[in-house]
Amino acid sequence: MTERGRRWMARDAHEFRVGPSRLRWDGQALVVDIDEIAVPWPHRVRGRVRLVPQALSRFVTALDAGGRHRWGPIAPCSRVEVEFEQPALRWQGHAYLDSNEGDEPIDRPFRHWDWARATLGDGSTAVIYDVRPREGDDRVIAQRFAPDGSAHAFEAPPRHALPRTAWRLPRTMRSEPQAPARLVQSLEDTPFYARATVASTMLGQATVAMHETLDLPRVVSLPVRLMLPWRMPRRP
């Protein structure tokens, strides 16, 4: 991923371009063409991701008490087809697409969050957003999205501690008491963000969820700001 300035971007009714990469809707799927150079060891990353939604969702909710930050899944129940030339990769499976937006920098209201989504046996998707703000009570959003795009709230189960990351980032996962959450595989481990697959039980079903943890004070800390250009180059 490369951070690029305005001159590298273009958007119209059909596609959104960022440098040599682009997103477009072909009538049935969101098609993402990627052509980038990876860092810190330069190599080409070139390929296509095609996301096919079963339906689109209109669900949107605030993440903070003031409503300045909002989240909503665009296509919570989808299929993905991945074909890369460099590196040579090809696979397909369940997919999920959502959107976050805010009217202020994300580190102002939030301290930490854990997020997880899992595909259930009937094809629906369960999502738990476990948000810890800088001030006030924690906010927990638990929604089940049906394949037709409709949303239904459910009661989130208790938190369970997961092992800290290699960068000592604390993380938790909500799972029903009879089946505490268990780390399956770490996928990404950075000073402020971690992604993993986690075994848990949601709505009475054993699942393997995609899980992420974000620590906002670390995002804006000086050491992380100094490290970011080595991981994410910038082109004004």
Radius of gyration of the chain (CA): 18
Per-residue pLDDT of 147-187, as tens digits, reads 999 999 999 999 999 999 999 999 999 999 988 999 999 99
Summarize pLDDT for 14-56 with one digit per residue, the tens.
999 999 999 999 999 999 999 999 888 889 999 999 999 999 9
Q: In this model, does residue 131 exceed pLDDT 80?
A: yes
Residue 228: the pLDDT is 87
Phi-psi region of 105 (alpha: psi -120 to 50; beta: other; left: phi over 0): beta
* 117 Cβ contact list (under 8 Å, min separation 6): 76, 96, 125, 126, 127, 128, 209, 210
Could you report the per-residue pLDDT of 71-117, keeping only the tens digit for each?
999 999 999 999 999 999 999 999 999 999 999 999 999 999 999 99
- Residue 235 pLDDT more than 90? no
Can you give the residue range of the structural domain that contains 201?
Answer: 3-235
pLDDT of amino acid 146: 98
| 121-125, 165-169, 190-194, 224-228, range with the lowest pLDDT | 224-228
Quote the number of domains for the chain: 1
pLDDT tier for residue 2 given thresholds of 50, 70 and 90: confident
